[in-house]
Chains A and B, each alone.
Chain A
Amino acid sequence: QSVLTQPPSVSAAPGQKVTISCSGSSSNIGSNYVSWYQQLPGTAPKLLIYENNKRPSGIPDRFSGSKSGTSATLGITGLQTGDEADYYCATWDNSLSAGVFGGGTKLTVL
Chain B
Amino acid sequence: EEQLVESGGDLVQPGGSLRLSCAASGFTFSPYWMNWVRQAPGEGLVWVSRINSDESSTNYADSVKGRFTISRDNAKNTVYLQMNSLRAEDTAVYYCARGAFSEGLDDWGQGTLVTVSS
Q: Answer yes or no: do A and B interact.
A: yes
Minimum distance in angstroms from B40 CB to a CB of chain A: 12
Is there a chain B Cβ closer than 8 Å to A44's Cβ?
A: yes
Minimum distance in angstroms from B14 CB to a CB of chain A: 24
Minimum distance in angstroms from A31 CB to a CB of chain B: 11
Is there a chain A Cβ closer than 8 Å to B29's Cβ?
A: no
Is there a chain A Cβ closer than 8 Å to B45's Cβ?
A: yes
Cα distance A45–B93 in the bound complex, in angstroms: 12
Is there a chain B Cβ closer than 8 Å to A100's Cβ?
A: yes
Interface of A is mostly: strand
Known contacts A2-B44, A44-B95, A104-B44; A98/B105 CB under 8 A: no
Is there a chain A Cβ closer than 8 Å to B46's Cβ?
A: yes
Cα distance A91–B105 in the bound complex, in angstroms: 10
Minimum distance in angstroms from B34 CB to a CB of chain A: 12
Check if A33 sits within 8 Å of B45, measured CB to CB.
Answer: no
Check if A98 sits within 8 Å of B59, measured CB to CB.
Answer: yes
Among the 9-residue stretches A13-21, A47-55, A71-79, the one with 4 or more Cβ atoms under 8 Å from chain B is A47-55
Q: Which of A66-90 contact B (CB under 8 A)?
A: 86, 88, 90
- Closest A residue to B100 by CB, please name it: A92
Among the 9-residue stretches B15-23, B84-92, B107-115, the one with 4 or more Cβ atoms under 8 Å from chain A is B107-115
Check if A44 sits within 8 Å of B108, measured CB to CB.
Answer: yes
Residues on B with C-beta less than 8 A from A2 are: 44
Contact of A101 among B47, B50, B59, B111 (CB under 8 A): B47
- Closest B residue to A99 by CB, please name it: B47
- Closest B residue to A102 by CB, please name it: B44
Residue with the greatest number of chain A CB neighbours at <10 A, chosen from B35, B61, B105, B110: B105
Complex A-B, nearest 8 residue pairs according to Cβ-Cβ distance, in ascending order: A50-B104, A99-B47, A35-B104, A104-B44, A92-B101, A44-B108, A101-B45, A47-B104
Q: 10 A-B residue contacts at CB 8 Å? A: A35-B105, A39-B45, A45-B95, A45-B105, A47-B107, A50-B104, A51-B102, A56-B104, A96-B62, A97-B59
Residues of chain A at the chain B interface (Cβ within 8 Å)? 2, 32-33, 35, 37, 39, 44-47, 49-51, 56, 86, 88, 90-92, 96-104
